[in-house]
Every structure is written in C-alpha cells, then in structure tokens.
Amino acid sequence: GEDVEQSLFLSVREGDSSVINCTYTDSSSTYLYWYKQEPGAGLQLLTYIFSNMDMKQDQRLTVLLNKKDKHLSLRIADTQTGDSAIYFCAESKSNYQLIWGAGTKLIIKP
Amino acid sequence: DTGVSQDPRHKITKRGQNVTFRCDPISEHNRLYWYRQTLGQGPEFLTYFQNEAQLEKSRLLSDRFSAERPKGSFSTLEIQRTEQGDSAMYLCASSRGTGSGNTIYFGEGSWLTVV
C-alpha cells in the first residue's frame, strides 16, 4: 500500500517540545518531507530528510528517521503559539509525486 | 523569488459552470504540479508538467478537468461542468526538478466552492 499515517491531534503546553510522528510504507522513498499548513493557507515546506540520513536539525526543528521501522518524527523545541497548524508528513513516491499523511493538528495550550 | 502564486484565491460557482485557475510557478522552476485538498485530508496528486509537457495525470483527473502549461511557465487548470464534489482547495506547486530533494514549493491554493 501507499499509506502514510499520522495521529490526527497533538496537544502541548507552550514552551514544551512537540513531537509529531509519522509512519510510511514505501521503503524505496528517497526523501521524506514535513510541511506546515495554517488555516486557509497553502503548504509551507519546513524541512526534508534524505533516506540515508538518521537525523537532521534546523534551528528549533529536529527530524529523526528510522528507516528500518519506516518511522519519521518532527520535534519542535520550545513550542510557541505561532506553531499552531496542521503538520503533514509526505514521502516521495517518484521524482514527481508525494504521498501524504492526513496531517496532525498541533494545539498549543497556554 | 516571489514564490508560487495562484489566482483566484477563492471562487464560488454554480453547479454546471466552468471555472479556471491560474498558477504562476517560481521562475526557472521547470516542474509544475497540481494537487487537490479537501478538509481534513492531505493533498492528492492531480497532474504534473515538466516544462510544457504534461507527463502524468492521476485517475482523479476526470475528463472534465484539463490542465495546460503552454509555454512552460504559468499553468491553468480548468474544470468544466462543475459538480458539488469538486469543492476543494486546488494547490499548485513547482520545483527545479533536480537536486536538493526536488524540493516542492506550494502556492497558497485556490478555494473552490460549488453551490
């Protein structure tokens, strides 16, 4: 199958770390992506990781990839109210098509 | 680099009417994509252009849908005889097509409501 699965919701307190998880099925995917979508807006590319990497860090964002378990995670350090959005995980099916999860809605509690 | 721009951002149309969306990709990006997204779902691939050539179309793209990219720059997506099930956000994206993970950048989307 071509499923990318994510939890639908994640609630964290402001200032804590958020960890959004994703599982995918296509072991041949070369790149995996995280996109952010705010209400009524398009998709903003946050980061991506090549399949031969285990980890990638970019400021407050850390991506971890466990290729054996086909598990991808996005950690957001020091979560702020501006981080409230839906976060999509996507895997590259080919050099032109992405397969997407349904998105995880990140809710920030004060 | 002004990003991917889409027009109109919102469109309300009556069932049976035709609608057309325009996408201007990031300049010098030779790949252009159309996706569709409904509430609570991730985007679904519709079609893809490499320059002016339409190289792939999803089965989601019925014969009422047609996409063009005549000069390899901007693209249009036309929906004929719209149905209520066509209500969705239509997302355009572009990429260089080589290197850097073929990073795909999205526009803000065009919301279609068919009444």
Q: Can you say whether the dihedral through the CA atoms of A33, B96, B20, A45 is positive or negative? A: positive
- pLDDT, one tens digit per residue, over B11-42 is 999 999 999 999 999 998 999 999 999 988 88
Query: Is residue B45 a contact partner of residue A97, using CB atoms and an 8 Å limit?
Result: yes
A4 CB neighbours in chain B (<8 A) are 42
Of the pLDDT bands very low, low, confident and very high (cuts 50, 70, 90), residue A42 is confident
Contact B103 A45 (CB under 8 A): yes
Mean pLDDT estimate for chain B:
91
pLDDT surpasses 70 at B6:
yes
Q: Which of A33, A96, A101 sits opposite B31 (nearest CB)?
A: A96
Q: Which of A50, A97, A102 sits opposite B42 (nearest CB)?
A: A102
Chain B 32-91, residues with CB within 8 Å of chain A CB atoms: 33, 40-45, 48, 50, 55-56, 91
Res B60: pLDDT: 81
Res B59: pLDDT: 87
Cβ neighbours of A84 (radius 10 Å)? 15
CA A104 → CA A88, A100, B19, B68, distances in Å?
Answer: 6, 11, 31, 33
